[in-house]
Amino acid sequence: MSATLRPSPISATVDFDAQGVQHGFLKLPISIDTSAWGAVMIPITVVANGEGPTALLTGGNHGDEYEGITSLLKLASTLKAEDVRGRVIIVPMMNTPAAEAGKRTSPLDGGNLNRSFPGDPNGGVTSQIADYFTRVLVPMCDVALDLHSGGRTLDIVPFAAAHRLDDLAQERASLAGAVAFGAPYAMMMFELDATKLYDTAVESQGKTFVTTELGGGGTSTPQSLALTERGVRNFLIHYGLMAGEIEKPTEPMIYVDMPDASCYVQSEHSGLLELTLSLGEMVQQGDVLARVYDMSRTGAVPVEYRAQRDGVLIARRFPAKVGMGDTIAVVAEVVESLEREGSLSAPKPAE
Ligand SMILES: [Zn+2]
């Protein structure tokens, strides 16, 4: 397919082969009402120092997920060449137009970047950004870390995750990075539809890939930023791009699995949402997770939503108002190990 595609219209102002620290842009030509001969300017930092692997660090795949955006902006402004062995490519806001608008999706074409892969050089702005990652940036990297969180409509326990892959060695390398990240949770993640994800574009090129969810609500907190920054550093140390010791979380890591779509509880009503438990609390199949109240009248009995499986509440809708089809809650299964053979077991609480 790629043989017939024209080159990406995006040009980089950085030299990916140069040593040292460079701050620049990925420039995508646009022609809009406010700028006839304009460009989308996507900030990028490249830090290179000698031989070694290349890590691609991304945030702002969704523009309202600030834990990753803020952490990577901080890292880009502080990382020195002598800190690195190999090359670190940092794009804090993959979907820069969305991030500038404070939105999940792009104001230019409504595009959800993480539903736009592998992308198209002749498509809309969002699809063109996806295509550049698929055909230019991802092929440069050995390992990739994509920092997500819940954004404005979800709140999520902090976790790093890998996916089940056909290539067991690739799956294990990715899972090891997710564990090394050192969030309170590590997960084997089930996607509702993986076809158009960045994750799939990276994994299909045989690259080691770790994704994360690190909070939500369309903001960040001192806690969420501290664990994101620690996790990025741990990721770089684990894959040999930085010297130093991996900083483990103080509490034993909780391993969670999402075996299938029954983890997701979605609303079939519109109204006012009441969650009956907090993130991180355990729930049993059949327990009431949430109630949805009819806001058009008093005296009506709320609709109850129940857990479809035993597990831990790992994500919840953040706004109090809920609509048809919205995800209310996600329940994941707590497991001893995420490895298929069971060799990567959870640390003992006493240790
Ligand atoms: Zn996201």
Percent of the chain with pLDDT over 90: 91
Cα-to-centroid distance, 62 and ligand 1 (Å): 5
Q: Can you give the pLDDT at residue 331?
A: 97
Spell out the domain ranges in the chain. Answer: 11-257, 265-332
Residue 350 has pLDDT above 90, yes or no: no
Cα-to-centroid distance, 24 and ligand 1 (Å): 24
- Give the residue from 293, 297, 298 showing the smallest Cα distance to 267: 293
Residue 348 has pLDDT above 60, yes or no: no
- Same topology, domains 11-257 and 265-332? Answer is no
Residue 3 has pLDDT above 80, yes or no: no
Cα-to-centroid distance, 149 and ligand 1 (Å): 6
Cα-to-centroid distance, 258 and ligand 1 (Å): 17
Cα-to-centroid distance, 316 and ligand 1 (Å): 14
Cα–Cα separations (whole angstroms), residue 74 to 23, 71, 92, 210, 324: 13, 5, 9, 20, 38
Cα-to-centroid distance, 278 and ligand 1 (Å): 21
CATH number at 11-257: 3.40.630.10
Q: Can you give the pLDDT at residue 341?
A: 64
Exposed/middle/buried for residue 140 (C-beta within 10 Å: 0-12, 13-18, 19+): middle
Cα-to-centroid distance, 105 and ligand 1 (Å): 10
Cα–Cα separations (whole angstroms), residue 115 to 6, 50, 267: 22, 35, 22
Cβ count within 10 A of residue 223: 11
Q: Can you give the pLDDT at residue 337?
A: 87
Cα-to-centroid distance, 50 and ligand 1 (Å): 33
> Per the structure block, which two tokens stand in for 84?
């690195």
d(CA 329, CA 307): 9
Band (pLDDT 50/70/90 cuts) for residue 260 is: confident
Cα-to-centroid distance, 304 and ligand 1 (Å): 28
pLDDT in tens, 29-82: 999 999 999 999 999 999 999 999 999 999 999 999 999 999 999 999 999 999
Percent of the chain with pLDDT over 70: 96
Q: Mean pLDDT, to the nearest integer, of 262-269?
A: 95
- Give the residue from 87, 106, 80 showing the smallest Cα distance to 95: 106
Cα-to-centroid distance, 20 and ligand 1 (Å): 30
Q: Mean pLDDT, to the nearest integer, of 141-154?
A: 98
Choose the weakest-confidence range: 112-121, 152-161, 245-254.
Answer: 245-254
Cα-to-centroid distance, 341 and ligand 1 (Å): 30
Q: Can you give the pLDDT at residue 266?
A: 97
Cα-to-centroid distance, 344 and ligand 1 (Å): 27
Cα-to-centroid distance, 282 and ligand 1 (Å): 24
Cα-to-centroid distance, 302 and ligand 1 (Å): 31
Residue 1 has pLDDT above 60, yes or no: no
CATH number at 265-332: 2.40.50.100
Beta-carbon contacts of residue 166 (< 8 Å; ≥ 6 apart) = none
Q: Can you give the pLDDT at residue 340?
A: 79
Give kind and range of the element (H or E) at residue 68. helix 66-78
Cα-to-centroid distance, 297 and ligand 1 (Å): 35
pLDDT in tens, 4-33: 899 999 999 999 999 999 999 999 999 999
Cα-to-centroid distance, 305 and ligand 1 (Å): 25
pLDDT in tens, 270-298: 999 999 999 999 999 999 999 999 999 99
Residue 327 has pLDDT above 80, yes or no: yes
Cα-to-centroid distance, 140 and ligand 1 (Å): 23
Cα-to-centroid distance, 112 and ligand 1 (Å): 9
Cα-to-centroid distance, 61 and ligand 1 (Å): 6
Cα-to-centroid distance, 190 and ligand 1 (Å): 14
Has this prediction a pTM greater than 0.85? yes
Cα-to-centroid distance, 92 and ligand 1 (Å): 13
Q: Can you give the pLDDT at residue 346?
A: 46
